[in-house]
A and B are shown apart, each in its own frame.
Chain A
Amino acid sequence: AQKITQTQPGMFVQEKEAVTLDCTYDTSDQSYGLFWYKQPSSGEMIFLIYQGSYDEQNATEGRYSLNFQKARKSANLVISASQLGDSAMYFCLNNAGNMLTFGGGTRLMVKP
């Protein structure tokens, strides 16, 4: 069975600073994808970034980047220059085979 672990239930970061949200995964599949989603207080799920298991470069999307360390099975999300609007829940998702598995989430709070 797949397992995704997000070890930080909650985090604070000062506005304009960078923050790293941790995600480790456990899958026996060779081919898989890792996603990060943001869930603001309004409840919708917003796609942020994707990393494929065969991608050699770390994914980047604007202020978001993914620190992918395949040997360590980690896919940490880095948010640069935090903004107040980044305060939200963040979920890591693994797509392997027919299963999509979410981590438990990290609540990020950006302080002004």
Chain B
Amino acid sequence: EAQVTQNPRYLITVTGKKLTVTCSQNMNHEYMSWYRQDPGLGLRQIYYSMNVEVTDKGDVPEGYKVSRKEKRNFPLILESPSPNQTSLYFCASTGSFGSPLHFGNGTRLTVT
């Protein structure tokens, strides 16, 4: 089954403790991206990647890192999480310009 797999679904952590949210797709998509969703602000793009070893900042990249060492994986790294990074995070991928984004099921992160 074609899918984007995000883990974990829920994560509670403390300020400053490094964490990684994993994202993997099995559709051989070149484009992958990360979004955060906050009430009243909709979905905002954090980082995106057009291909392996190619990553670019989206609208809200501060406090986040990503890597794209393999085509299928695009982890999101928070080196020193802060409470303002409490949010719902989505990973997504697509194979071409006119194709829909395939979303993961989301990761609800709480930073205390």
Binding site for B on A (CB under 8 A): 31, 33, 35, 37, 43-45, 47, 50, 52, 91, 93, 95, 98-105
Within 8 Å CB of A31, what residues of B?
97
Segment from B21-29, B41-49, B62-70 that makes contact with A: B41-49
The B interface is mostly helix, strand or loop, or mixed, namely: strand
- Chain A residue nearest to B45 in the complex (CB): A100
Q: Separation in Å of the B40 CB from the closest CB of chain A?
A: 7
Tell me the bound Cα distance from A105 to B40 in angstroms.
9
| CB <8 Å contact, A102 and B43 | yes
Tell me the bound Cα distance from A80 to B69 in angstroms.
45
Q: Separation in Å of the A112 CB from the closest CB of chain B?
A: 26
**Residues of B within 8 A of A (CB-CB), count:** 24
What total of A-B pairs shows CB separation below 8 Å?
A: 49
A102 with B44: in contact, given A43-B105, A44-B105 (CB under 8 Å)?
yes
- Other-chain residue from B56, B97, B105 in contact with A95 (beta carbon distance below 8 A): B97
Within 8 Å CB of B98, what residues of A?
33, 50, 52
- Chain B residue nearest to A96 in the complex (CB): B97
| CB <8 Å contact, B42 and A45 | no
Within 8 Å CB of A35, what residues of B?
100-101
User: Which of A31, A93, A102 has its CB near the most chain B CB atoms (within 10 A)?
Assistant: A102
